[in-house]
Amino acid sequence: MRVIYNEQMAELADLLGGMAGLAGSAMERATQSLLTADLELAEQVISEYDRIAEMITLAEEKAFALLALQAPVAGDLRQVVSAIQIVSDVNRMGVLSLHVAKMTRRRFPAHAVPEAVNSYFAEMGRVAVKMGATAKEVLESRDPERAAKLTDDDEAMDDLHKHLFTLIMDRDWQFGVAAAVDVALLGRYYERFADHAVEIGRRVVFLVTGVLPPDPDSEKESI
């Protein structure tokens, strides 16, 4: 029974890692579509989200099957419960990538954001993709030290988001209210993508050590 349990947990960990990788890839392409007003690329991200959704359903089924059939306790139960919570965070990462792509589609053929803020979104996209890749890595390696470092990238994302918000609130903003609203929404999508990656890192640390690190963004609203 123990061998079967370990095999099933390994399969679930691989599945979670694959989902995180797909979410990061989706955000990379969504960002590119946003910056270039590439409708075809945006449509790819939107249509391929179904693949992430299917994997999420499969991961949930595997996790609940472990609960029902293996009746895990103590450390084993911690692993399964953490996996269920991680599924939710990966799902949100995929959905946030989807939101970015849908913004591109909604504003096409115009660019969804003014050129003046392109550099901000290019950098936010880079940080988000890096965090998605790191989330994949720590889910597969279960390295608590690497997982904890996701907080550093989250701080960089928060700084970018704050600067972006300062721009749209500045009296010299010349692109209108609609553009300001779009920029604010998009900035929030990237910020929350990073937050969910950090939460995955916290869950991996808890999974390995049994100690849940403090939430660095405990005052943030949930999406």
Residue at 174 is within a domain? yes
Q: Using a cut of 0.85, tell me whether the model's pTM lies above it.
A: yes
Residue at 122 is within a domain? yes
14-28 b/e (C-beta count within 10 Å ≥ 16 → b) = ebbbbbbbbbbbbbb
pLDDT at 7: 82
pLDDT in tens, the chain (223 residues): 567 777 888 888 889 999 999 999 999 999 999 999 999 999 999 999 988 899 999 998 988 888 777 666 677 777 888 888 999 999 999 999 999 999 999 999 999 999 999 999 999 999 999 999 999 999 988 898 889 889 989 999 999 999 999 999 998 899 999 999 999 999 999 999 999 999 999 999 988 887 878 776 665 554 4
Split into its structural domains, the chain has a count of 1
Domain containing residue 110: CATH number: 1.20.58.220
Residue at 200 is within a domain? yes
pLDDT at 8: 80
pLDDT at 173: 92
Q: How many C-alpha atoms does 165 have within 13 Å on its Cβ side?
A: 12
pLDDT at 70: 66
Residue at 214 is within a domain? no
pLDDT at 220: 54
Indicate the SS3 state at residue 167: helix
Task: Give the ranges where 71-175 is alpha helix by DSSP (H).
Answer: 74-107, 118-141, 144-148, 150-169
- Would you call 80 exposed, middle or buried from its count of C-beta atoms within 10 A (0-12, 13-18, 19+)? buried
Range(s) of the domain holding residue 114: 2-209
Residue at 219 is within a domain? no
